Chains A and B, each alone.
Chain A
Amino acid sequence: GESVGLHLPTLSVQEGDNSIINCAYSNSASDYFIWYKQESGKGPQFIIDIRSNMDKRQGQRVTVLLNKTVKHLSLQIAATQPGDSAVYFCAETPYNQGGKLIFGQGTELSVKP
């Protein structure tokens, strides 16, 4: 069945270091991928997205890489800050399913000062 999963459930980094969060997906028909950040007690917050016709997209301090060959997605956070501490989810939208999102389990990022 369709699934989106994460390689690491927890990630601890030092403030100022770069963070890399990985995600594997199984539905090769997906055409849109999103990273969400979720803080405790809050709903998921959009970080960055990428379409399947792209390999890389950059935002402010964040970069998403998409490798369709191995169905792998990663989120890179530059100069990680304490405010980046949260659970990060990757999500995919299967083609022609109206924007319905399939989420992975999540990775908890902990930033040490």
Chain B
Amino acid sequence: GAGVSQTPSNKVTEKGKYVELRCDPISGHTALYWYRQSLGQGPEFLIYFQGTGAADDSGLPNDRFFAVRPEGSVSTLKIQRTERGDSAVYLCASSGTGGTEAFFGQGTRLTVV
């Protein structure tokens, strides 16, 4: 596709449930990033992939959060035992080899009720 695509655009889940958020980066982009954005705040870094491997997962808040990128393209952010505090917009971005400009998707708005 022309840009970074994230699905679903909105997700409402009950507290304690498991959710998966998907990111399709720009074709050919080797770097992929997940961020979380709360209302009125700037995006907060979660994890960064270079190819298939997580190069930096220092932003994941706890072990309920996990992300994969098995083939170096699509990535899935997985949240177990969701809590109301997990409610936020989850943003995905990608950038090309040697490139520093990151292109963002529109985000997935997660609401935990």
A25 within 8 A of B: no
Question: How far is A97 from B107 in the complex, measured between Cα atoms in Å?
Answer: 23
How does the 8 Å CB contact mask read for B33-77 relative to A, with 1 for contact and 0 for none?
A: 101000011111100101000011001000000000000000000
Total residues of chain A contacting the partner, CB 8 A: 24
B82 cross-chain contacts in A, Cβ below 8 A? none
B31 within 8 A of A: yes
Question: How far is A99 from B41 in the complex, measured between Cα atoms in Å?
Answer: 20
B102 cross-chain contacts in A, Cβ below 8 A? 46, 99, 101
Closest 5 CB pairs of A and B: A103-B42, A43-B104, A44-B104, A103-B43, A89-B42
Beyond contacts A36-B104, A42-B106, A100-B33: 5 other A-B pairs, Cβ-Cβ < 8 A, are A32-B100, A41-B106, A45-B104, A93-B100, A99-B31
